[in-house]
């Protein structure tokens, strides 16, 4: 775990910004705030946070563009905040590099839970030797990440922190290095995509439903009965779509991630532990 708990809040609504600052401060973060997108990008650049909250509707550049710019030099967790009417739009945020989103108005407890779940995911952040003053090097070095912490049952009994990796048809996944290699070439995944891929490979050929995958992403027991919304499930679909695109996996003829229509996803073959 990275003990530098620095967060940047990018939000133009003063009340919501104040609430976010208060909540994150209570959760142990040192918080920097910005009320417009351009200042927010600069704050992320200057402070190298582990977490960024981005409001979708900002007065200058929108939350998508902010996230896109942040992603050029930062692998911070990006939590997008969106109004109810923008919920479907928020899914687009996942395409430009956001890790999760929360709909306003949110309950403080919900926001804290989302943030804590994200902070428990594996990540390269903090392991990167690149200084935030060097944004010209967008390729993040494949440095050793903080040990991912996942409940064993969520990943099919696999210890995510330095545990075994998987190999399937030219794809190698190494949790200890937070590394994915396709045909010898490294592929950069977001932590969310990495967890989904690792979970499917670790599950052998057992189908994982979107509900289970949503819970796993929240670091919950997949068999618990916590509420999963239709938007949460849709968000899993978007992440899986992004994952496939990055891997170069054709959904019509999957090598790695297979859709089981109306149910969920499973590995396209029996992955070997390595
Ligand atoms: Ca706004």
Instruction: Report the SS3 class of residue 148.
Output: coil
Instruction: Report the SS3 class of residue 84.
Output: helix
How remote is the CA of residue 87 from the centroid of ligand 1, in Å?
Answer: 14
How remote is the CA of residue 256 from the centroid of ligand 1, in Å?
Answer: 39
Supply the pLDDT for residue 150.
Answer: 37
How remote is the CA of residue 13 from the centroid of ligand 1, in Å?
Answer: 6
Residue range 45-87, pLDDT digits in tens: 999 999 999 999 999 999 999 999 998 888 899 999 988 777 7
Give the single-character DSSP code of 2.
Answer: -
How remote is the CA of residue 86 from the centroid of ligand 1, in Å?
Answer: 11
Mean pLDDT score across all residues of the chain: 82
Give the count of alpha carbons within 13 A of 117, CB side only. 21
> Per 3-state DSSP, what percentage of the chain is helix, strand, and coil (rounded to 5)?
35, 20, 45
How remote is the CA of residue 10 from the centroid of ligand 1, in Å?
Answer: 9
pTM more than 0.75 = no
How remote is the CA of residue 12 from the centroid of ligand 1, in Å?
Answer: 5
Give dist(CA 217, CA 42) in Å, integer.
29
How remote is the CA of residue 44 from the centroid of ligand 1, in Å?
Answer: 18
Of these ranges, 27-31, 91-95, 157-161, 235-239, the one predicted with the greatest mean pLDDT is 27-31
How remote is the CA of residue 244 from the centroid of ligand 1, in Å?
Answer: 32
Supply the pLDDT for residue 148.
Answer: 38
Question: What residues sit around ligand 1, an ion, with C-beta below 5 angstroms?
Answer: 12, 55, 57
Give the single-character DSSP code of 146.
Answer: B
pLDDT band at 110 (very low <50, low <70, confident <90, very high): confident
Q: What are phi and psi of 257, to 5 degrees?
A: -115, 115
How remote is the CA of residue 91 from the centroid of ligand 1, in Å?
Answer: 17
How remote is the CA of residue 62 from the centroid of ligand 1, in Å?
Answer: 9
Supply the pLDDT for residue 118.
Answer: 81
What are the chain's domains?
6-119 (3.40.50.2300), 160-273 (1.10.10.10)
């Amino acid at each position: 775990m990275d003990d530098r708990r620095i967060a940047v809040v990018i939000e133009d609504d003063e009340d919501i910004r104040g609430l976010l600052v208060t909540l994150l401060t209570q959760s142990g973060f040192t918080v920097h705030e910005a009320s417009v997108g351009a200042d927010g990008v600069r704050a992320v650049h200057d402070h190298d946070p582990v977490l960024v909250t981005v409001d979708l509707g900002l007065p200058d550049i929108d939350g998508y563009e902010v996230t896109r710019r942040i992603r050029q030099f930062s692998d911070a967790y990006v939590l997008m905040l969106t109004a109810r009417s923008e919920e479907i739009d928020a899914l687009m945020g996942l395409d430009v590099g956001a890790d999760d989103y929360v709909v306003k108005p949110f309950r403080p407890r919900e926001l804290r839970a989302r943030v804590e779940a994200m902070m428990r995911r594996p990540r390269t952040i903090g392991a990167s030797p690149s200084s935030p003053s060097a944004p010209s090097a967008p390729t993040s070095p494949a440095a050793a990440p903080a040990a991912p912490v996942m409940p064993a049952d969520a990943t099919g009994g696999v210890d995510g922190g330095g545990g075994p990796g998987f190999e399937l048809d030219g794809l190698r996944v190494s949790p200890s290095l937070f590394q994915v290699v396709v045909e010898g070439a490294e592929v950069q995944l977001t932590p969310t995509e990495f967890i989904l891929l690792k979970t499917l490979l670790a599950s052998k050929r057992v189908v994982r439903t979107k509900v289970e995958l949503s819970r796993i992403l929240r670091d919950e027991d997949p068999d618990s009965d916590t509420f999963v919304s239709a938007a949460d499930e849709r968000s899993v679909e978007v992440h899986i779509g992004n994952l496939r695109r990055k891997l170069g996996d054709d959904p019509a003829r999957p090598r790695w991630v297979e859709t089981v229509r109306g149910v969920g996803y499973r590995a396209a073959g029996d992955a070997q532990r390595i």
